[in-house]
Structure 1
Amino acid sequence: MINELDEDDRAVVFKVIDTTLTKKKFKDFFQKNVATKVGKSFNVIFYTLL
């Protein structure tokens, strides 16, 4: 099916797929590395103030 598209349309389809995967990878990376560390830092600060 993808082979039936012309070169420009095929490039658009691949760009949409690439963008979607890149956004998901960034979201997963952010949640795993940044949000977790921010949450831990917040908990340390919060409990230190108590």
Structure 2
Amino acid sequence: MKFERQPDETRGARSRELKAILVVDDDQQLASALQWILAEEHFLVDVAFDGEE
């Protein structure tokens, strides 16, 4: 998986809007790492460790 940061000037007003992402993975360490990485990129992240949560 590759993440590229856009320059601030190309983000415009949308950079202030939080985008929501749901991470579902039974590997709690991986899910938590993804949550941290995505939150650093200004995503609102919800994590579930199985399909029932």
Q: Above 0.5 in TM-score?
A: no
Larger helix fraction of residues: 1
Larger radius of gyration: 1
Instruction: Identify the structure with bigger relative contact order (alpha carbons < 8 Å, sequence gap 6+).
Output: 2
Larger strand fraction of residues: 2
